Amino acid sequence: MQIIKSILLWLLGVVLGVAVLLGAVMAASYSFTTSGSAPDPAVQFGGQALEVNGSCWQVPLIGGLLDKAFYAPSTLSVQKLGVLYEAHPELTLPDWATGAQLTITADGMGDAYYFQGDLTQYAGFLYPANGEYKAQLTVWRLPEGMTDADFRWPSDGAVLRNAGLERPSRPTGCYQYSFRFTIQASAQLELSAERIAQGGVAALEISGMVGSETPVVETDLGSVQCVRSPAGWRCYIPAAYNASAGSHTLSVTVNGETLTTTLVVTAQNFGEAEAQPDPPAPEGASEEFRNVIWPLYEDKARDKMWQGAFLCPLENYTVLLDYGQTKVMGGARAGQSNSTLLYAVPGDAVRAPADGVVVAAQNLGLTGNTVVIDHGCGLRSYLYGLSAIRVQVGQTVSRGDAVGQVGETLTMDFKLGSKSINPWPLFQTSGGLFWREF
């Protein structure tokens, strides 16, 4: 019995010793763990460092078994950044950040806001105008598997059980920022190329402080319409086969200011080809064509629908008369072709060159069975002379979908507005239509 009693007393001493040791370690860990154990709050907006306005961090203790909390509630103070001369001030987060939530408002808006979202969403946000803005920002560092809704908001100095979601444990929590800034910026123009050949296309990006109203672009190269792009607005400038060689002024009215830039068109030798006269058109065919097709030239531009290279509408073909070639009839020149005439295998499928919406699908006296597909941004493909039509107006088609069948020949014509462009660069992913695709 005496031996058992001695063993029990020894075990009790060991337990007490371990408890004292753990308590000492716990006390030391608690006392040496300070708010400085949280990450460096190195956040920048528009190139300026932001000041922390509130925070809550849970710092691991004793190998990540417990957390010590440090809490500083947000105050009413607002950091003043002054005037920023860029239309989209960049938000830069430290490497440790796993997420952020940004809200941008203006004085007098109440609970309404211009923007609310994360960093990815902010990258696509366009400020509506120059002026004064206020922002609230929360930057998080959370372990994988935890969301900000799961985060506990304890009082300063509280000790909590660690979530146990990562090994080794790291500080978990967030910093909060409140700041004001004024934006004074202008719109900017950028061309995909300063020179294009006849038949080519140049993209024009309108970025900076572009506002919400659609810009107006004026040029002698044709009717141009703008659509929204990640940077602001985008439009495509056609240089038809017969566009005059030399400099062309592009005048852009955007957000109350007018900007200009210059695009140079260079001459292109398209060559000649023997051609046959068009058969006599039925009575009223020209007027019917004008009534059905011409209004499409001025239809409001849809958002961009194509991505990557276009398909030639026929898989098997021989070119009889190419875009821009001068027609030779009976030894005499008879003008240039604004379209491409393909000799085909009768019965082959006619394919949609790219994603789009069918805006015309009917038999016309002048062009036979006709299908027109709107690909967005004012770009449409016109397919004439099908033996059969397999789509209807309003139908959405994907690149490569069969829209009909071909007889012996097919005429294809790609237009930006009312101006025909060279189709072959479209099939090769070449030219302004594929610049910085979005």
pLDDT of residue 112: 77
3-state secondary structure (DSSP) of residue 25 = helix
Cα separation, 338 vs 418, in Å, equals 11
State the pairing for strand pair 66-72/159-161. antiparallel
Handedness of CA 338, 241, 205, 437 (dihedral sign): positive
Give the domain range for residue 63: 35-183
Tens digit of each residue's pLDDT (9 = 90 or more) over 52-62: 999 999 999 88
Handedness of CA 23, 25, 31, 34 (dihedral sign): negative
Are the C-beta atoms of 102 and 127 separated by less than 8 Å? no
One domain for residues 64 and 197: no
Cα separation, 180 vs 135, in Å, equals 6
* 128 CB burial (10 A radius; 0-12, 13-18, 19+): middle
The structure tokens 């610049």 sit at 435
Secondary structure (DSSP) of 306-339? --SPPPPS-SSEEEEE-TTPEEEETTEEEEE-SS
Domains in the chain, number? 3
Cα separation, 302 vs 417, in Å, equals 12
- Residue 16 located in a structural domain: no
Tens digit of each residue's pLDDT (9 = 90 or more) over 57-88: 999 988 788 999 999 999 999 999 999 999 99
List 384's β-bridge partners, or say none: 370, 411
Closest CA to 377 of 184, 264, 236: 236
Q: Which of 183, 207, 225 is the last residue of a domain?
A: 183
One domain for residues 136 and 284: no
The domain that contains 400 carries what CATH number?
Answer: 2.70.70.10
One domain for residues 193 and 142: no
Closest CA to 33 of 8, 58, 13, 51: 58
One domain for residues 197 and 178: no
Helix (H) or strand (E) holding 287: helix 285-292
Token representation of residue 64: 């990540």
One domain for residues 382 and 303: yes
Q: Which of 266, 295, 325 is the last residue of a domain?
A: 266
* 373 CB burial (10 A radius; 0-12, 13-18, 19+): buried
- Residue 352 located in a structural domain: yes
What are the CA-CA distances from residue 413 to residues 3, 89, 354 (Å)? 105, 43, 14
- Residue 3 located in a structural domain: no
Are the C-beta atoms of 281 and 290 separated by less than 8 Å? no
One domain for residues 79 and 222: no
Cα separation, 104 vs 121, in Å, equals 12
Which segments of the chain have a pLDDT < 50?
Answer: 18-22, 24-29, 31-32
pLDDT of residue 390: 98
Looking at residue 401, the DSSP 8-state letter turns out to be: -
State the pairing for strand pair 201-208/187-191. antiparallel
- Residue 13 located in a structural domain: no
Q: Which of 208, 232, 266 is the last residue of a domain?
A: 266
One domain for residues 214 and 118: no
pLDDT of residue 110: 55
For 115, half-sphere exposure in the C-beta direction (CA atoms, 13 angstrom radius) is 21
One domain for residues 57 and 200: no
Closest CA to 385 of 400, 371, 403, 399: 371
